[in-house]
Amino acid sequence: MRRLEGKLAVVTGAANGIGRASALRFASEGANLAIIDMEEEGLAVTADKAREAGATVLTITANCTDEDVVADAFKRIYAEAGFVDILMNNVGQSARQRASEFYASSSEVWRFVLEVSLMSTLISSRQVVPAMREAGKGKIVNVASNAGLAGEVGLSEYAAAKMGVIGFTRSLARELAPFRVNVNAICPGVTKTRIIGNISEDILEKIRQSIPLGFFAEPEDIAATAAFLASEDSRYMTGQSVVVDGGRWMV
């Protein structure tokens, strides 16, 4: 399928995992890319693979929680690559090694998780929304989590941030619907990226048993949904949070 032929897609957090798989899927469907990440090396790997698939690729090493840095990144994108047809806000993470149940948690960790998993989405979206409104087209795909829907022990601030992403998605979708800009979110379940190295085998096994389909997602499973939401195939969907978690949370 070449549903994204000639479109420019910006993917944040594209040096690894779901972001890399989505960038590569977009490239394989004909999109050109501007990819942003803090990790320069991983970004270069993604860029090389996307170029092999025929995409032109602009790489930008940047911290997506820093508003000024992100504004500069998008200035470059508009100058060098033109109108952003698709923005995938993929940057985000839990407290990982610093995760704890709420009674033992600290505001420093909450702030870190809210910045990286919620503020980053608002910051990048703010850069593309004026141009999308004016052009009367565009797709924004936000990466939330099924943790935002179901809640997760030890991940309260992460679940709060991801529910925040869902609320933001719904509100922005309403604001932009008159301009034919679609804004949707994906709620992945456990996906086989480097992050699952932070979860003990015991807990992973418990989670696996709670998944009706009985296995964890590959990053490409999430990328397939991202490509759908980035394409005209989903033109009649906006404000949705598409759950891709093997049936763990059924809407």
Ligand X SMILES: NC(=O)c1ccc[n+]([C@@H]2O[C@H](COP(=O)([O-])OP(=O)(O)OC[C@H]3O[C@@H](n4cnc5c(N)ncnc54)[C@H](O)[C@@H]3O)[C@@H](O)[C@H]2O)c1
Among 27, 31, 86, 92, binds ligand X (CB under 6 A): 92
In the structure encoding, which two tokens stand for residue 209, read together? 């048993």
Is residue 39 near ligand X by the rule CB under 6 A? yes
The residues facing 187 across adjacent strands are 243
Tokens of 123: 């910051």
Phi and psi dihedrals of 13, rounded to 5? Answer: 70, 40
Binding status of residue 17 toward ligand X by CB under 6 A: yes
Residue position matching structure tokens 């957090």 = 13
Whole-angstrom distance, CA of residue 231 vs CA of residue 227: 6
Does residue 63 interact with ligand X by CB under 6 A?
Answer: yes
Q: Name which position in 4, 9, 11, 15 contacts ligand X (CB under 6 A).
A: 15
Helix residue ranges per DSSP H, the chain: 17-28, 40-52, 67-80, 107-114, 120-135, 146-150, 156-176, 201-209, 219-230
User: Judged by CB under 6 A, does residue 64 bind ligand X?
Assistant: yes
Whether 158 is a known active-site residue: answer yes
- Residue found under tokens 């296995």: 215
Minimum distance of ligand X from residue 74's CB (angstroms): 14
Residue 57, strand partner residues: 33
Give the residue with the Cβ less far from ligand X, 37 or 157. 37
211-230 residues in contact with ligand X (CB under 6 A) are none
140 near ligand X (CB under 6 A): no
* Chosen residue from 124, 184, 191, 240 binding ligand X by CB under 6 A: 191
CB of 195 to ligand X, least distance (A): 4
Q: Which residue stretch of 10-18, 97-105, 129-137, 233-241 sits at the interface with ligand X (rule: CB under 6 A)?
A: 10-18
Rule CB under 6 A: is residue 145 a binding residue for ligand X? yes
Three-state SS at 59: strand
Cβ distance 203 to 236 under 8 Å? no
Residue selected from 32, 59, 124, 193 as contacting ligand X according to rule CB under 6 A:
193
Rg (CA), the chain: 17
Identify the active-site residue in 78, 103, 158, 236: 158
Six-digit token pair at 139? 């797709």
Q: Which residues in this chain contact ligand X in the complex, by CB under 6 A?
A: 13, 15-19, 37-39, 42, 63-65, 90-93, 116-117, 120, 143, 145, 188, 190-191, 193-195
Q: Which residues are catalytic?
A: 158
